[in-house]
A and B are shown apart, each in its own frame.
Chain A
Amino acid sequence: MKKPQNEMKMSFLSLSENERLARVAIGGFVSSKNPRIDELTDLKTAVSEAVTNCIVHAYRDTVGVIEMTARLTDDCVYIKIRDRGCGIEDVKKAMEPLYTTLPDEERSGLGFSVMESFTDSIAVKSRLGYGTTVVMTKKLRSKI
């Protein structure tokens, strides 16, 4: 990654009202790039998925801390979302479309599919009992 022009780090509790906070924050962070509306929506949706997963899965019966780091270069945004929750046993399987461990709570198993198709790259690292880190990047083609 090229040298970042801007960087931010925030942490917040795994409360569902913070799903919106994370979306607003990422929208504000990239606003200096004057991104296209569809790219902004994609970004917010991907962030919403990653943060919701921390709340719904990682810290299932507890409240923990979620960390979001974002960096901006010329034409690309990098976002890291990290929890120290339960971790994922089999990341490859978890990322399969429609795979969910919570079908009874009206989860559809599409979170990772959304993150994958709405960004340019995604990497997931996880360790059972230690937590999960999701890193996503997306190119921004600024409006002319």
Chain B
Amino acid sequence: MAVYIADGGEGTIVAKITGEIDHHTARWLRMDIDTAIQDRNPKKLLIDFSGVSFMDSSGVGLVMGRYKNMKERGGKVALTNMPDYIEKVMNLAGMDRLLNGR
């Protein structure tokens, strides 16, 4: 499990998560992403799920928490490259609206 932070241009940072997202891994992912937000002060956080091999509701908590953080800073969160099974979990939370920045 790891997060790779990249500059997406125009005030966007891309956080590419790899590996499994559960309650055990979420706390490390949260720390890494929040550090990047703190350091780079982006307008938009784009979370890339293309490298994620498993996610349960802890991933929903992770996204909601980052969403709150970014909102407080006047920024946005968008989700991209979600495999079907991740979208299934996100849909339960009504989070699919964040998909691809909609």
Contacts and interface: CB of A to CB of B under 8 A. Distances in A.
- Indicate whether A and B interact: yes
Contact of B60 (A16, A55, A108): A108
Contact of A44 (B23, B30, B54, B88): B54
B60 A38 contact: no
Contacts of A16: 22-24
B64 A108 contact: yes
Interface in A101-120: 105-108, 110-111, 113-114, 117-118
Interface string A16-50: 11011001000000000000001001101100110
A19 B54 CA distance: 12
Interface residues of B, number: 22
Majority secondary structure, B binding face: helix
A52 interface: yes
B11 interface: no
A52 B92 contact: no
Interface of A: 16-17, 19-20, 23, 38, 41-42, 44-45, 48-49, 52, 55-56, 97-98, 105-108, 110-111, 113-114, 117-118
Please list the 9 inter-chain residue pairs (A to B) with the smallest Cβ-Cβ separation, ordered nearest first: A16-B24, A106-B61, A110-B57, A106-B65, A48-B56, A108-B60, A52-B23, A108-B61, A41-B85
